[in-house]
Every structure is written in structure tokens, then in C-alpha cells.
Amino acid sequence: MATDDLNKPLGLPRERKAHRTPLVALVAPPLLIAIGLIAFFAFGDGPDDPGNVVAAIDDTSPDQTGSVGPALTPVYEAQSEPLVEVKPTGGLREVRGNDVIISDPSKPRPIRLAAAPFEDLIEADENGLLPRIGDDGTRPLDAYARPAGATEGMKRIAIVVGGIGIEGEAGQSAIASLPGEVTLGIVPYGEDLPATVAEARALGHEILLQLPMEPYNYPDIDPGPNTLTVAGGTAKNLDRLRWLLAQTTTYVGVMNYMGARFTGDDRALAPILGDIADRGLLFLDDGSSARSRVGAFASDSAPVIRADLVLDGDTAPAAIDARIKQLVAIARERGYAVATATAFPSTIARISAFARVAEENGIALVPVSSLVRADGS
């Protein structure tokens, strides 16, 4: 718009005849407008002003990847009232008494899980905070689990993606882009595990802690510090287990990280699984070793589940898709299936693609805890 256009009366052509306007007439209107704007912003939206009514659409439903979309889209209640924007501060803040929140019932709110442990579900030792069963019998497995949602008439699939905390950008991508129903495996060696766990749980992911266990060819193949070993003996392995468990909190259970040799040895395995069960945690066998003996220790008091397959032994997208098809076939035959994977970019992409079409194909993605809690095992 040309500068002269600002001086036209609305809808009328500008007169061609030259006309001198007194300086005060030119300066006074803008000055009055500026004073009015300053007064409005200084006094018009104070906390005691009862005249401002807000309508804010609650649009916090998950998008197709499970991440949280725009929190609040403000709309005008009336043209005569100024707009007051309600901004989220990590969640919906407590609105003022004259604010109005409009929720869309067709869009369920995203599930956010707390990252602070319950006081009665932890005990302190020299290593830090360890999980325990509460005095009322509440298990960490139950207290920190993600709700499974409605699955009636659907086949259930649980997918656990591990390597979170040491996989850098891929791990962050898994947290942010995978649906909240996908359980994440946290490695106990991350630089900032509390922040990683908090971010994951804020986006609805329940957590398993990955325990380093002795593989064949150890120590040439070394899972990391405080690995549980067959030769270590019960006392040393339990000391190492306590160190590992104290590295973070709010997980529903643990899973093996490597460990083909350790999980195949009953004598080494029994005290570890016993301690884990006594703490109210589940144990997931990641399905990587055919010699694993973990399933032999399952009982009502020791929640144990074994993955049916590993999705990304071959990280090519076509190979991952083929494994997902096998997983679906297992779920359709048995009613449920479990898979594990690692936070590789191709793995994250293919799981995300599957998640977008799972429901329309009769598949419900569920957290792994729901499969061991459903029958009390």
C-alpha cells in the first residue's frame, strides 16, 4: 500500500486539490491511538479484570506418530472482547474462573506418565533409589504402567524398542516419533538418564531398564560396566543388579541386554529373577537367544514374558516389514504378540508406518506391561 493511501477516507478517492493540514491535526490522532494501546496492554488484561472471557479449544490429541499436537487454539468469545491466550506449561494449566475450555470428545487426550517415583515404592541404598513393592502391595509394574486402552475385538501387539539413552539422535527420534503405546528400553549408561526417562514418559511411553548380561565370547563382546556374569556368583551379581536398578526410576520392569550365555544358565539366572520379582517388576526376555531359560521361572509372583521375535536383525526396511508381517500373523493366531527392536532410524520409520495403519487392520498396539498384567502373571 502506498503511503498516500493511508490518508484516503475509506472508500473514497483522494482529492487532487492541495490542502495544508495543521501540524497538530496530523500528530494528535496517532498520539491518541498510541496512548490508548499502551493503556490497553498495561491495564486491560489484569488478573482482576472480569470482562475478559476466553474460549480455548483443547486440541491435545496425539497425531499419527503419537507425539503431542498443538495444545490450545484460542478463539474469540465475542468481537467486543480482547483475546486472552491460554498457553500450556507442560500440561493444561489451571485456568482462571472466567476462562472457558472447550474439549473435543472425539479426540482423546494424550497420555502423559509422571517421571517422579512414588515415595512408598522406592528404597534407598548406597547405589541410589531402588524399586520395591509398597506396603499396601502395589508393585512398580502396576504403578508406572501405561493404560492399555480399549482393545476388545482386536489382536494385541506389544513392541519394545531398546537402546534409548545411548543411540543419540536415533534414541531421541524414537521417543518423539513413536506412538506412546510403544514401550522403550533404557540402557543404564546414558549421560542424562533422568531427563531421557522424563521426556519418554511425558510422551506416554512406559519404560523397561535394559540389564547387561553376559553373552558368548565375553569379554571380547562386552555389554558394559557391571555386566551380570555366570562366573560372578550370586552375591556379586546381586550387588551389580542393585547398581543397575538405581540408575533411574519409574520403569515397569527390566529386559536383558545381550546375555545369551547368562540367560541360558539356571543357577546364575534364578537369584536375579527372584530379586526382580520381589521388587514388583516384570522381566522381558528379548527373544534373541533360543537357549534362554527365562521362561522356566515364570510364575504368578514372577511376571515373565518372552518376545516372539526381533524385528531388526536385518535393518533393511523390507526385512523389517517382513518381520512385522510375521508378528501380525502370530497375533492373529494367538491373540497377542511381542517383538523387540533397537532404535535404528529404519526401525523407527517402519514401526511408525505400521502404527498408522494397525488399528484399521484390527491390531491394537499395547504397552508390554498389559500383556503380563492381564492374567496376573
220-235 pLDDT, tens digit per residue, is: 999 999 999 999 999 9
CA angle at 290 for the pair 287 and 292, rounded to the nearest 5°: 75
Higher-pLDDT residue of 38 and 191 is: 191
In a domain, 304, yes or no: yes
Q: Do 25 and 141 fall within a single domain?
A: no
Q: Are 235 and 359 members of one domain?
A: yes
* 169 confidence band (pLDDT: 50, 70, 90): confident
Map residue 182 onto helix, strand or coil. Answer: coil
- Across the range 168-178, mean pLDDT stands at 90
Question: Is residue 123 in a domain?
Answer: yes
Query: How many domains does the chain divide into?
Result: 2
* Cell numbers standing for residue 106: 472425539
Compute the mean pLDDT over every residue in the chain, rounded to the nearest whole number.
Answer: 79
The pLDDT value given to residue 305: 95
pLDDT, mean of residues 92-117: 60
Once rounded to an integer, what is the mean pLDDT over residues 320-349? Answer: 97
What pLDDT score does 149 carry? 83
Task: Give the model's pLDDT for residue 142.
Answer: 95
Q: What percent of the chain is predicted at pLDDT more than 90?
A: 64
Q: Which of 4-8, 89-93, 197-201 is least confident?
A: 89-93
Q: Are 152 and 129 in contact (CB under 8 A)?
A: no
Q: Are residues 216 and 334 in the same domain?
A: yes
Model pTM above 0.75: no
The stretch 171-200 carries a mean pLDDT of: 94
Q: Does 309 have pLDDT greater than 50?
A: yes
Q: What SS3 state is found at 101? A: strand
In the structure, how many helices (H) and strands (E) does the chain have?
A: 9, 14
The single-letter DSSP state of residue 137 is S
Instruction: Give the CATH number for residue 285.
Output: 3.20.20.370
pLDDT at residue 60 greater than cutoff 50: no
Could you tell me if 174 and 65 are in contact, meaning their C-beta atoms sit under 8 angstroms apart? no
Whether the Cβ atoms of residue 245 and residue 280 lie closer than 8 Å to each other: no
In a domain, 143, yes or no: yes
**CA–CA gap between residue 40 and residue 52 (Å, rounded):** 12
Spatial distance between the Cα atoms of 292 and 377, rounded to a whole number of angstroms: 19
In which band, very low, low, confident or very high, does the pLDDT at 369 lie, cut at 50, 70 and 90? very high
Name the E strands within 152-218. 155-164, 183-186, 207-213
**354-365 tens-digit pLDDT:** 999 999 999 999
Looking at residue 167, its pLDDT comes to: 60
Mean pLDDT, residues 148-175? 90
Q: Quick one: cell of 259?
A: 546375555
233 and 336 fall within a common domain: yes
Q: Which domain holds residue 265?
A: 119-373
Judge if 13 and 159 occupy the same domain. Answer: no
Report yes or no on 11 lying in a domain: yes
**Same structural domain, 139 and 7:** no
- Same domain? For 295 and 152 the reply is yes
Give per-residue burial for 11-46: e unless 16+ CB within 10 Å, then b: eeeeeeeeeeeeeeeeeeeeeeeeeeeeeeeeeeee
User: Does residue 239 belong to any structural domain of this protein?
Assistant: yes
320 and 188 share a domain? yes
- Residue 261 in domain: yes
- Residue 14 inside a domain? The answer is yes
283/298 Cα distance (integer angstroms)? 9
Is 79's pLDDT higher than 80? no
Q: Judge whether 262 lies within some domain.
A: yes
The residue with greater pLDDT, 329 or 84, is 329
Cα within 13 Å of Cα(326), Cβ side: 14
Q: What is the pLDDT of residue 148?
A: 84
Say if CB 338 and CB 305 are below 8 A apart: yes
Residue 93, pLDDT score: 32
